[in-house]
Amino acid sequence: MIFETVVVGPLEVNCFILGCAETGEGVVVDPGADGERILATVSRLGLKISYVINTHGHFDHVGGNKSVLAATGAQLFIHESDIPFLTRAADVAAMYNLVTENSPRPDRLLEDGMTITFGTHSIRVLHTPGHTPGGCCLYLAEAGIVITGDTLFADGVGRTDFPGSSHQALIDSIRDQLMTLPDETRAYPGHGPATTIGHERRHNPYISL
């Protein structure tokens, strides 16, 4: 499987580009900004993007949706609970003296346990509310990878001081959805370095199992 990270925007969001080496079908996860850089990487990898997936609706993760969707004709996925964020992205970014674009509405909705297939690979959606009501993680079992958005970080967890956030829901999501994955699973968060589920199980100060 093709798996590449492009760090985008002033908040340094990890945008992930996934691809099937056999079919050339691809997925872009969290194109938060810098659409031209994302598209240049897609072109270099020779992929045809079928889906854009937002792990959640915060502006720094959705600001590049419009440009990437327009260039690729891909379908947009997000959880229903985070749809309201999409049309407020520009206004919220402005509160931080940043500029971004609002996102188009989604074509399809993420649901817990659903499977998204691209080429010979599949993604299982894990609904992990807490950072936002509709936050989701994306598990690729055969590759031993989980994309955790802003739910779980290396030695940390997502912020829960935003409207609609819940610290208890976040911790419950991590325990119930992520800590049940194999220790060797590589976890790729929305910001910062990758980690493993085993490392976080043993060392993350916010998680007590």
Distance of CA 200 to the CA centre of its chain: 19
What's residue 207's pLDDT?
86
What's residue 44's pLDDT?
98
Which amino acid is located at 34 in the chain? D
What's residue 193's pLDDT?
98
Tell me the per-residue pLDDT of 137-176, one tens digit each, with 9 for 90 and over: 999 999 999 999 999 999 999 999 998 899 999 999 999 9
What's residue 178's pLDDT?
98
Identify the segments of the chain with pLDDT beneath 50. Answer: none
Rounded CA-CA distance 55/163 in Å is: 17
| Token pair listed for 5 | 């990270």
Nearest to 10 by CA among 56, 53, 57, 59: 59
Asked if 76 contacts 54 with a C-beta cutoff of 8 angstroms, the reply is: yes
At 18 the three-state DSSP class reads strand
Query: What structural domains does the chain harbor?
Result: 2-203 (3.60.15.10)
| Residues in CB range of 28: below 8 A, 6 or more apart | 15, 16, 17, 18, 38, 42, 49, 51, 52, 53, 68, 72, 74
Distances from the Cα of 170 to the Cα of 2, 129, 150, 159, angstroms: 30, 6, 10, 9
Nearest to 56 by CA among 134, 166, 161: 134
Please report, to the nearest 10 degrees, the dihedral formed by the alpha carbons of residues 24, 105, 68, 160 taken in order: -100
Rounded CA-CA distance 202/86 in Å is: 36
